[in-house]
Amino acid sequence: MLFIELASAFGEIEKRSGRLEMTDLLSAIYKKAKVNEIKKLTYLVQGIIAPSYEGIDLGMGEKFAIEAVAHATGYSRKDIEKDYRKAGDLGLVAESLLKKKKQQALHARELSVSDVFDAMMRIAKSSGTGSQQLKIRVLAELINNSSPEEGKFIVRFVTGQLRLGIGDPTILDALSVSKAGDKSLRAELERAYNLCDDLGLVAETFVSSPNKIKKFEVEVFKPVRPALAERLATPEEIIKKIGECAIEFKFDGFRMQVHKKGEKVEIYSRKLEKITNTYPDVVEATRKLKHREMIFEGEALAFNEKKNRFFSFQETMHRRRKYGVEQAKKDYPLYVYAFDLIYLDGKDYTQESYSERRKQMEKIFPSGLLKISEKMAAKDAEEIEEIFQESVKKGLEGIMAKDLKAPYVAGARKFAWIKLKKSYGKSVDTVDAVVVGYYLGKGARAEFEFGGILAAVYNPDRQKFETVAKIGSGYSEEEMKSFHEMLSEIKRKEAPSIVDSNLKPDFWVELKYVVEVAFDDITLSPTHTCGAKDGKGYALRFPRMMRLRSDRDAREITTTQEVIEMYELMKGK
Whether the predicted pLDDT of 424 surpasses 70: no
**How much is the average pLDDT of 138-143?**
95
For the question of residue 250 being annotated catalytic, the response is yes
* pLDDT band, residue 313 (cuts 50/70/90): confident
Angle at 563 between CA 314 and CA 468, to 5 degrees: 75
Of 40-49, 270-279, 293-302, 441-450, least confident by mean pLDDT is 441-450
Report if pTM > 0.75. Answer: yes
Amino acid residing at 362: E
* pLDDT one-digit tens code per residue, 510-526: 999 999 999 989 999 99
Three-state DSSP class for residue 307: coil
% of the chain at pLDDT higher than 70? 97
Q: Comparing 84 with 539, which gets the higher pLDDT?
A: 539
Whether the predicted pLDDT of 462 surpasses 90: no
Residue 388 CA to residue 396 CA, distance in Å, equals 9
- State the burial class of residue 506 (Cβ atoms within 10 Å of its Cβ: 0-12, 13-18, 19+): middle
Q: 341-345, 490-494, 516-520 — which one is most confidently predicted on average?
A: 341-345
- The CATH number assigned to the domain with range 429-570 reads 2.40.50.140
CATH topology of domain 228-420: D-amino Acid Aminotransferase; Chain A, domain 1 (3.30.470)
* Other Cβ atoms within 10 Å of 321 Cβ, number: 12
- State the burial class of residue 253 (Cβ atoms within 10 Å of its Cβ: 0-12, 13-18, 19+): buried
Angle, in degrees to the nearest 10, between helices 62-73 and 90-99:
0
Q: Which residues of 182-194 are buried (b: 16+ CB within 10 A; e: fewer)?
A: ebebbebbbbbbb
**How much is the average pLDDT of 289-315?**
87
* pLDDT band, residue 197 (cuts 50/70/90): very high
**How much is the average pLDDT of 111-140?**
93
β-pairing, 228-231 with 413-420?
parallel
DSSP-assigned beta bridge partners for residue 404: none
CATH topology of domain 3-158: DNA ligase i, domain 1 (1.10.3260)
From 39, 135, 250, 421, active-site residue: 250
Residue 435 CA to residue 362 CA, distance in Å, equals 40
* pLDDT one-digit tens code per residue, 76-115: 999 999 998 888 889 999 999 999 876 665 556 799 999 9
Q: Comparing 374 with 395, which gets the higher pLDDT?
A: 374
% of the chain at pLDDT higher than 90? 69
Whether the predicted pLDDT of 185 surpasses 90: yes
Of 156, 198, 118, 165, nearest in space to 23 by CA: 165
Residue 394 CA to residue 338 CA, distance in Å, equals 20
Fold match, 3-158 / 228-420:
no
**How much is the average pLDDT of 351-375?**
93
What are the domain boundaries of the chain?
3-158, 228-420, 429-570
**How much is the average pLDDT of 5-31?**
92
DSSP 111-128: PBHHHHHHHHHHHHH--S
pLDDT, position 422 = 63
pLDDT, position 460 = 87
Whether the predicted pLDDT of 310 surpasses 90: no
pLDDT, position 426 = 46
Q: Are 514 and 553 in contact (CB under 8 A)?
A: yes
Whether the predicted pLDDT of 573 surpasses 60: no
**How much is the average pLDDT of 226-254?**
92
Residue 162 CA to residue 6 CA, distance in Å, equals 13
Whether the predicted pLDDT of 423 surpasses 80: no
* pLDDT band, residue 366 (cuts 50/70/90): confident
* pLDDT band, residue 425 (cuts 50/70/90): very low
**How much is the average pLDDT of 543-564?**
89
Q: Are 46 and 199 in contact (CB under 8 A)?
A: yes
Residue 426 CA to residue 570 CA, distance in Å, equals 9
Q: Return phi, psi of residue 343, to 5°.
A: -155, 140
Residue 124 CA to residue 158 CA, distance in Å, equals 10
Whether the predicted pLDDT of 257 surpasses 80: yes
Whether the predicted pLDDT of 509 surpasses 90: yes
Whether the predicted pLDDT of 237 surpasses 60: yes
Long-range Cβ pairs for the range 310-313 (8 Å, 24+): 310/251, 310/253, 312/252, 313/252, 313/253, 313/254, 313/547
pLDDT, position 105 = 58
* pLDDT one-digit tens code per residue, 403-413: 999 999 999 88
Q: Comparing 334 with 108, which gets the higher pLDDT?
A: 334
